[in-house]
Chain A
Amino acid sequence: MLLIHCPYCGEERPELEFRHAGEAHIARPENIAEISDEDFAHYFFYRDNPKGVTFERWRHMHGCGRFFNAVRDSVSDKFLTTYKAGEPKPDIADAANENQINTSKGQGAK
Chain B
Amino acid sequence: MRKYSGFALVREAMRAHKGWDRQWASPEPKPEYDVIIIGAGGHGLATAYYLAKEHGITNVAVLEKGWLGGGNTGRNTTIIRSNYLYDESAGLYDHAVKLWENLSQDLNYNVMYSPRGVMMLAHNVHDVQVFKRHIHANRLNGVDNEWLTPEAAKEYCPPLNISSTARYPVMGAALQRRGGTARHDAVAWGYARAASDRGVHIIQNCEVTGVRRGADGAVTGVETSRGFIGAKKVGVVAAGNTSVIMQMADVRMPLESFPLQALVSEPVKPCFPCVVMSNTVHAYISQSDKGELVIGAGTDQYTSYSQTGGLHIIQHTLDAICEMFPMFTRMRMLRSWGGIVDVTPDRSPIIAKTPVSGLYVNCGWGTGGFKATPGSGHVFAHTIANDNPHPINAGYTMERFKTGRLIDEAAAAAVAH
Question: Which of B253, B308, B311, B342 is packed against the most chain A CB atoms within 10 Å?
Answer: B253
Choose from A16, A41, A72 the contact partner of B402 (Cβ within 8 Å). Answer: A41
B302 at the binding interface (Cβ < 8 Å): yes
Q: Is the CB of B244 within 8 A of A42?
A: no
Q: Which one of B256, B311, B402, B403 contacts A47 once the chains associate, using CB atoms below 8 Å?
A: B256
Choice from A37, A48, A76 contacting B252 with Cβ under 8 Å: A48
Asked if B301 is at the interface (CB within 8 A of a chain A CB), the reply is: yes
A38 to B403, CA, bound (A): 8
A36 → B minimal CB distance (Å): 9
Contact A74 B301 (CB under 8 A): no
- Judge whether B403 and A37 touch: CB under 8 Å: yes
On whether the beta carbons of B304 and A45 are closer than 8 Å, the reply is no
Candidates A2, A47, A74, A76; contact of B254 at CB < 8 Å? A47
Which residues from B are CB-within-8-Å of A74? Answer: 257, 303-306
B108 interface hit (Cβ, 8 Å): no
Report the nearest B residue to A14, measured CB to CB: B312
Contact with A along B275-310 (1 / 0, CB 8 A): 000000000000000000000000001111110101
Query: Does A98 have its Cβ within 8 Å of any Cβ on chain B?
Result: no
CB neighbours of B302 from chain A (8 A): 2, 20, 56, 72, 77
State which of A2, A42, A49, A76 has its C-beta within 8 Å of the C-beta of B256: A49
* Chain A proximity of B259: nearest CB distance (Å): 9
Pick the most buried of A22, A46, A56: most chain B CB atoms within 10 A of its CB.
A46
Q: How far is the CB of B300 from chain A (nearest CB, A)?
A: 8
**Contact residues in A for B404 (Cβ distance below 8 Å):** 37
CB-based contact B253/A47 at 8 Å: yes
Please tell me if the beta carbons of A41 and B252 are within 8 angstroms of each other in the complex.
Answer: no
The yes or no answer to A93 lying at the interface (CB within 8 A) is no
Contact A46 B304 (CB under 8 A): no
Q: Taking the complex as formed, is B169 at the interface, i.e. its CB lies under 8 A from any CB of chain A?
A: no
Q: Which of A1-48 contact B (CB under 8 A)?
A: 1-2, 15-16, 19-20, 22, 37-38, 40-42, 44-48
In the bound complex, residues from chain A placing their C-beta under 8 Å from that of B342 are 49
Give A54 to B305 CA distance when docked, in angstroms. 11
State whether A49 touches B253 (Cβ < 8 A): yes
B328 at interface, CB cutoff 8 A: no
Q: For the complex formed, measure the closest distance between the CB of A52 and the CB atoms of chain B, giving whole angstroms.
A: 8
A84 to B254 CA separation, bound complex (whole angstroms): 27
A47 to B342, CA, bound (A): 12
User: In the complex, what distance in Å separates the CA atom of A56 from the CA atom of B244?
Assistant: 18
B304 — which chain A residues lie within 8 A by C-beta?
74-75, 77
User: Is B345 in contact with chain A by the CB < 8 A criterion?
Assistant: yes
A44 to chain B minimum Cβ distance, whole angstroms, is: 8
Inter-subunit contact A46/B303 (CB<8 Å):
no
Find out whether the CB atom of B303 lies under 8 angstroms from the CB atom of A54.
yes
B241 within 8 A of A: yes
Q: Tell me the nearest residue of chain A to B404, going by C-beta.
A: A37
B109 to chain A, nearest CB (A): 33
Q: With A1-B311, A20-B301 as given contacts, are A41 and B254 in contact (CB-CB < 8 Å)?
A: yes
Min Cβ gap B319→A in Å is 14
Docked Cα-Cα span, A3 to B111, in Å, equals 42
11 pairs from A and B in contact (CB 8 Å cutoff): A1-B310, A37-B404, A38-B402, A40-B402, A47-B253, A48-B252, A56-B303, A74-B305, A75-B306, A76-B306, A77-B308
A interface residue numbers (CB < 8 A to B): 1-2, 15-16, 19-20, 22, 37-38, 40-42, 44-51, 54, 56, 72, 74-77
Extra contacts besides A50-B243, A51-B243, A75-B304 (19): CB < 8 Å: A2-B310, A15-B310, A19-B301, A20-B302, A37-B404, A41-B401, A44-B345, A45-B254, A45-B401, A47-B243, A49-B255, A49-B342, A51-B244, A56-B302, A56-B303, A74-B257, A74-B303, A74-B306, A76-B306
